[in-house]
Amino acid sequence: MNMHPTTPVYPTTFAVDELFALQLDAADPLHDYRELFHLPTLPDGTPYIYFCSHSLGLQPRSARALLQTELDHWAQLGVEGHFHGPTPWYSYQELLRGPAAQLVGARPGEVVHMNGLTVNLHLLLASFYRPTARRDKILIEEPAFPSDLYAVQSQAQWHGLDPETTLLKIAPRPGEACLQEEDIEECLRRRGSEIAVVWLNAVNFLTGQLLDVPRLARAAHAQGCLIGLDLAHAAGNVPLELHDWGIDFAVWCTYKYLCSGPGSIAGCFVHEKHGQRLDLPRLAGWWGNDPATRFRMQLEPRFTPMFGADGWQISNPPILALTPVRAALNVFEHAGLPALRARSIALTGYLWRLLETLPRQGWRILTPPEPLRRGCQISLQVDDRPRELFDELMQHGVVGDFRQPNVLRFAPAPLYNTFHEVWTFAQVLRQALHDR
């Protein structure tokens, strides 16, 4: 399998017959990446149509061997594995830093893998949400992912503030499903002097909408606000340029599109303009300390943070959790996100075209129609017995997910889903709607 330094060209208009889907797969230069992943199967061995990478990505086949290697090192070397063997644990993090930085558009010193997404959010808000009498508000979208909402609410309470008045929520306009960037900009113009932090999901978990992040970053900074991003549904899904956009801080999980395993270790970004400031207050732990004095322990009572995102680390990294991340990042580095993004746009564009051929009775698409305003997720709002429809699709081998009260989410992932799977899904959905 060759690396893809150039971006493949896919059609922008689509026929709706099965032969067209099969021809697209046959000509697709990225089609064989599917072989690098374990595909869940039905009892008869047929692979599910797995459109649920927005919740949990599939396992890279290389993960098992890499994990076994580290288990062997542990068995053979014990504590000496920290400094000996082909992949010493003390520096293991460095194996992931370059590929991770490339995926999110960062400089290597701006990223680190640690903890879980929400833990990282709390650690970064401890440094970057410093409310004053004049500037104490947090601007957040609605709907935000619940964990984000709980985190910022509790941060307000931690500072003795009332979340009901501290959080400024920007919701879609009446009758619409997605946010309008101009509404966020208008709020910033009106109340920017009160806002300490703008906290947004680059890709919304419910609708799959991709925000115009650089535009919103400029608007936030023009008002003196810091801007942070939840990239849980964006990392490994859409192009990001966190450094060039001037994003102040960001966090992401790695178990969705980044395919690193259930509940795996998360990623963290701190822009170098902040990472160079060792005077920033933070919740400290020994692994964020200057490596020159890290092992002096009881001889060094004063915490001296490392430069960059590493300075926000609390504990030494869990090697067995980092290893599947490494396996997945190897695949992304080989394929290249520009190529994967091109394929993603084609897959969702094809799905959109097929959905247009279905009768629109009792359901609608929540995701923006413009390819550049969405990731690889398409969300459907179903008004007539949505849970029953979801269960019927599952019975026919389609794995998506259901969000109460009536949203079904499906994500054809460019690493391993096919155009023929998109076509088959549309036929299953057509029959399920017809049977109603």
- Which pLDDT tens digit goes with each residue over 193-243? 999 999 999 999 999 999 999 999 999 999 999 999 999 999 999 999 999
Tell me the average pLDDT across 426-436: 93
pLDDT band at 367 (very low <50, low <70, confident <90, very high): very high
> Could you tell me the end-to-end alpha-carbon distance of the chain, in angstroms, rounded to an integer?
45
Determine the average pLDDT of the residues in 403-425.
98
Res 78 pLDDT > 80: yes
Residue 364: beta bridge partners? 381
| Under 8 Å between Cβ of 365 and 382 | no
Task: 315-321: list long-range contacts, CB under 8 Å, 24+ apart.
Answer: 315/114, 315/285, 315/286, 315/287, 316/286, 316/287, 317/92, 317/93, 317/113, 317/114, 317/265, 317/287, 318/265, 319/70, 319/89, 319/92, 320/67, 320/70, 320/71, 321/261, 321/264, 321/265
pLDDT band at residue 5 using 50, 70 and 90 as cut-offs: low
What band does 1 get if pLDDT is binned at 50, 70 and 90?
low
pLDDT band at 4 (very low <50, low <70, confident <90, very high): low
Q: Percentage of residues in the chain with pLDDT exceeding 90?
A: 94
pLDDT band at 295 (very low <50, low <70, confident <90, very high): confident
Indicate the pLDDT class of residue 13, thresholds 50, 70 and 90.
Answer: very high
What pLDDT score does 344 carry?
Answer: 98
Six-digit token string for 385: 């017995």
Per-residue model confidence as pLDDT tens digits over 275-287: 999 999 999 998 9
* Closest of 116, 434, 383 to residue 266, by C-alpha: 116
The predicted model gives 33-55 an average pLDDT of 97
* Predicted confidence (pLDDT) per residue in 144-187, tens digit: 999 999 999 999 999 999 999 999 999 999 999 999 999 999 99
Amino acid 201: pLDDT: 98
State the amino acid at position 243 in one-letter form. Answer: H
Peptide bond into 108 cis (omega under 30): no
Angstrom distance (rounded) from CA 56 to CA 232: 11
What pLDDT shows up at residue 2? Answer: 55
CA distances from 177 to 171, 174, 247, 360, 365 (A): 9, 8, 26, 17, 9
Q: What domains lie within the chain, and their CATH numbers?
A: 18-36+337-435 (3.90.1150.10), 68-332 (3.40.640.10)
Tell me the pTM: 0.96
Q: Which of 413, 366, 338 is nearest to 204 (CA)?
A: 366
**What does the chain come to in residues?**
436
DSSP 3-state of 269: strand
The whole-chain average pLDDT of the chain stands at 96
Judge whether 168 and 136 are in contact, CB under 8 Å. no
Q: What is the pLDDT of residues 314-355, one digit of tens each?
A: 999 999 999 999 999 999 999 999 999 999 999 999 999 999
CA gap 201, 387 in Å, rounded: 26
